[in-house]
Structure 1
């Protein structure tokens, strides 16, 4: 499949309304699967899982599975269970992430670990992982099972890699990109790639959708890491400055540290070590990030990866599905900023 380089269109406000409308019938079926499969005679499981699943998320990853299937004009229903499996994997990782990060707020609501405690959150996350694998097995495709199970392993590796990089200001940009490609982009990529499997398309189509999802996922995480410093809790649905207080080494910090004076580098060492995380320190960090253009350049990198995502599907016929997928990239970069 040949491709030409596309630039992101600059036409605010960006929206995923077209993807939502395109996938609405399929997403209704996916939601039925989700509700059915999160049930358990152990009452705490559907209660806790339902708190997060019904917590205002856009269902972006399952919508990508459905949107990519629409791009390929797939008319079957296999992708409904698989999109639900993707959402279960995502939800399980959120439950585990909030425990690791000791987060108290997600999507503007109290996190499950704050309400029910860490042990319950971890175990219900394990339950949802198990449900996702049941759905994969029911689909019957070893290739789909391989793609999604591999993505699950890669996500876990990415989370561990992020943990080992935490508070280490010497972490480089290449290592950071490896981490976010694993912990975030791997599931985006798999969610898109499996559409080509159920539609029985060739390897070039599979690779194109996988590249679309991977680059979209990288752009998505870059934006997340930028807006943690320049947005607010109401906009983000989580506590502002969480990454700063947790000592997470994200691209804005990497760039600001590399460009800073020795005094500024000492500040970042103190802050990322956890010894300077007061509100005044966060305010200083924001000033340094803006002065060094670290946030601006992080967003520029997000736009670059967004352009790569759009380029990956440039060879597909124009139509509603392709437009919706392009606009999804634009939304991912413009959101909450």
Structure 2
């Protein structure tokens, strides 16, 4: 079942349930991305913010806060913070990856330039820190500021690890925890903390966000080799062409013989790719069961997310979060 085939999408159920809160988040985002002196800032930001993303991360903050009984106003600030951090990282990522398309639209660095994307990303990080301070909760500030640092650390680690055949699954997991899962877990954990939740519930929501984020990234990496380009917005094999050592290839390299290692060294480490190399890479992934093994890893992490959320109090949102974990991996079933 693909995401488009799902009759009722859990993220849409969550969005409907949280519609009032998300409306307030969107209003706050638009207000805080304004600039009196630099009109390019709202231009660039609006291009990405209004591009039709699911707003999954800020929804997770609102969901965690409501699940833990929060009735104050500051979950809105935290959700907007999470979205600003996410948007800033996307702007920077597209520059680093020299991307030309994001969510089916030209990237900001293509429409404007790299300098604008980097500097507007910096501005959004600064706005995020202003927002996370406003609730006056040091623990929340610690969670979100640590997440921002962890994301940057994960991206830098990926620069050195992505084209090094010595990169193993533990390093891959460290990269994924940094660049993807850190913001998922910060979103859910901060929502619980602002609500003053019991420590066991805070930990459960952190574990849920962490596992969901890891499953989310593994699925993305798997779909690069076996996805529908119309559904994913990416061409099959983009990661291979960009020499990114993701989990399917890491698994195949671990089982490679001398001849296969020579192939991976040439195509990934040295970047000397020829016609037919992608097809050969796919044949090696199938030969060693790397795609099926990667799929199982994604399912296992989704199951961990469901296990974590099952320990939380009975609430309509609890089931939505559990369904969301299934939904994240539905694309690979």
User: How big is the shift at 1:56?
Assistant: 1.7
- Equivalent position of 1:280 in the other structure: 276
Of 31, 44, 64 in structure 2, the residue corresponding to residue 36 of structure 1 is 31
* SS across alignment from 1:169: coil
- Equivalent position of 2:321 in the other structure: 325
Q: Could you tell me the TM-score, scaled by structure 1's length? A: 0.92
- Counterpart CA distance in 1 for 2:160 and 2:297 is 24
- Equivalent position of 1:224 in the other structure: 220
Q: After the TM superposition, which residues 119-130 of structure 1 pair with which residues of structure 2 at under 5 Å, given as runs?
A: 119-130=115-126
- Counterpart CA distance in 1 for 2:287 and 2:14 is 37
- Counterpart CA distance in 2 for 1:237 and 1:299 is 20
How well do the aligned residues superpose, as a CA RMSD in angstroms?
Answer: 1.7
- Counterpart CA distance in 1 for 2:121 and 2:240 is 26
Q: After the TM superposition, which residues 96-111 of structure 1 pair with which residues of structure 2 at under 5 Å, given as runs?
A: 96-111=92-107
User: How big is the shift at 1:14?
Assistant: 7.2
Distance 1:25 1:46, change over 3 A: same
Of 14, 23, 28 in structure 1, the residue corresponding to residue 18 of structure 2 is 23
- Equivalent position of 1:90 in the other structure: 86
User: How big is the shift at 1:239?
Assistant: 4.1
Unaligned runs of 5+ in 1: 1-10
User: How big is the shift at 1:318?
Assistant: 2.8
- Equivalent position of 1:250 in the other structure: 246
Of 246, 264, 268 in structure 2, the residue corresponding to residue 268 of structure 1 is 264
Could you say which structure has the greater relative contact order, defined with CA pairs below 8 angstroms and 6 or more residues apart?
1
Unaligned runs of 5+ in 2: none
1:185 aligns with 2:181: yes
- Equivalent position of 1:8 in the other structure: none
Aligned residues: 327
* SS across alignment from 1:82: helix
- Counterpart CA distance in 2 for 1:109 and 1:260 is 38
- Counterpart CA distance in 2 for 1:24 and 1:12 is 21
- 1:175-214 deviation digits (Å, cap 9, x = unpaired): 1111111111111000000111111112221111111100
Of 128, 131, 150 in structure 2, the residue corresponding to residue 132 of structure 1 is 128
Q: After the TM superposition, which residues 231-246 of structure 1 pair with which residues of structure 2 at under 5 Å, given as runs?
A: 231-246=227-242
Distance 1:13 1:251, change over 3 A: farther
1:49 aligns with 2:45: yes
Distance 1:227 1:19, change over 3 A: same
Distance 1:251 1:291, change over 3 A: same
- Equivalent position of 1:143 in the other structure: 139
- 1:251-306 deviation digits (Å, cap 9, x = unpaired): 10101111233222221111102534355222222222223221111111011111
